[in-house]
Amino acid sequence: MKKIILATVIMLTGCTAEIPNDTINYERIRTPSPMFQTIPNEQNIPNENECYSPLNFDRRKAIWLSYIDLAPMLSADNADDFSMAFDSACLDITELGCNTIYVHVRPFGDALYDSVLFPPSEYLCGDYDPLEIICDTAHGYGLSVHAWINPLRLQTADKLADFTDFKTSEWFINGDDKVSYIDSNGHLWLNPAYSEVRDLIAEGAYEIAENYDIDGIHYDDYFYPTTDSDFDAKCFAETGADSSLDEWRRDNISKMCHEIYKTVKSVDSRIEVSISPQGNMENNYHKLYADVKKWISEEGYCDRVIPQIYFGYDNTVKPFISTLNEWQQICESGNVALDIGLAIYKIGSEEEFTDNTSIIARQIEDCSLCQGVSLYSYSSLFGENRNDERIINERESIRNALSKY
């Protein structure tokens, strides 16, 4: 891994191996910024003799490993035991037929890696760097590794108050509006309206991309946590200008996405940036203030979009096929790859998924015109119920579907 010590480059202040034949080489050009200048019309590709060459597959067959999936492995108090546990997970994943993993490295404004920007995660139990081991181990299996972050969600107040050397803790302790919301689970949230917040999130993406041999930065649908105007009334009054609250919020999220993209590409333009919004486009736009259509149709926001189409065929609001068709039509107007997120976790908890064996395999087959699929999540197939006959059968049907994908 790179393990380069960050210095002045992390102090943003503005607002604003050999690759297999079936991998992607993106041609996008970043918009130059004061801190990250590139030569116009040229990719930013470091000297391949001095750095890692990102691995990204043209046909994506992925699985998400959330912090919940990682927690049992992270209970290891030494690097060898964690390495052994994660090696077993990689074996499971490759035998299933996947070629890519999205690994949760910052679930609550914390770090499952060596960071100078975010406090260490409560899930860390030993003196070792999990992300370094994850990259080395997964790449040994030929798996592409994407570091998955939740940009705005933070730890609970008691945990955040334990740290004093990080911006998020400082903002919280000082009563700064940049940390201004507590959700139903007690988690604090950052306010993306502030340029300092967006800068910190972009710096965090840079820190991971610069210091680790990752193949991508990934984030999901944790955008605005509420539609309540009290969340950011003060900031909106000061900076909202002539726009509506909804328009202003969508612009804030788009600015954040652009900053992440620009910053990651400043490290290496081959590192992929992907976003996984909700499968319900109306919810994205009106409740989370995520202008996904803009990110798809315009350059500079993401390379790949992975909508969470966690619906069955009989869903009365968003049936799977019509929702899939909607996303395919939307993505025809842009240049981003389209993968479909599928809900393995609903087996055993939702009637249609429980009563129909091989429903996920069927959905994989229905996604044949997309660039990939992604399965949520690892423990749904390889957790405590991994030896249940139903789960064994589901794994086999998924394995067969992925082998033809």
The encoded tokens of residue 196 equal 């300092």
**Distance (Å) of CA 384 to CA 4, 194, 285, 381:** 38, 42, 37, 9
Token pair 């149709």 is at which residue? 297
* pLDDT, tens only, 340-388: 999 999 998 999 999 998 999 999 999 999 999 999 999 999 999 999 9
Residue pair 98/143 in contact (Cβ under 8 Å)? The answer is yes
* pLDDT, tens only, 100-146: 999 999 999 999 999 999 999 999 999 999 999 999 999 999 999 99
- Residue 242 has a CB neighbour count (10 Å cut-off) of 6
Is a pLDDT exceeding 70 seen at residue 288? yes
Least confident range from 28-32, 75-79, 366-370, 391-395: namely 28-32
Sign of CA dihedral 335, 145, 109, 32: negative
CA pair distance 71, 123, nearest whole angstrom: 6
Question: Rounded to 5 degrees, what are φ and ψ at 72?
Answer: -60, -35
Domains in the chain with CATH codes:
8-404 (3.20.20.80)
Residue 272 is predicted with a pLDDT of 98
The encoded tokens of residue 86 equal 């994660």
CA pair distance 9, 36, nearest whole angstrom: 9
The encoded tokens of residue 289 equal 């203030």
Sheet holding 179-182, edge to edge: 153-156, 187-190, 179-182
CA pair distance 374, 239, nearest whole angstrom: 38
Of the chain, the percentage scoring pLDDT greater than 70 comes to 89
Residue 333 is predicted with a pLDDT of 85
* pLDDT, tens only, 191-224: 999 999 999 999 999 999 999 999 999 999 999 9
CA pair distance 344, 367, nearest whole angstrom: 15
* pLDDT, tens only, 74-100: 999 999 999 999 999 999 999 999 999
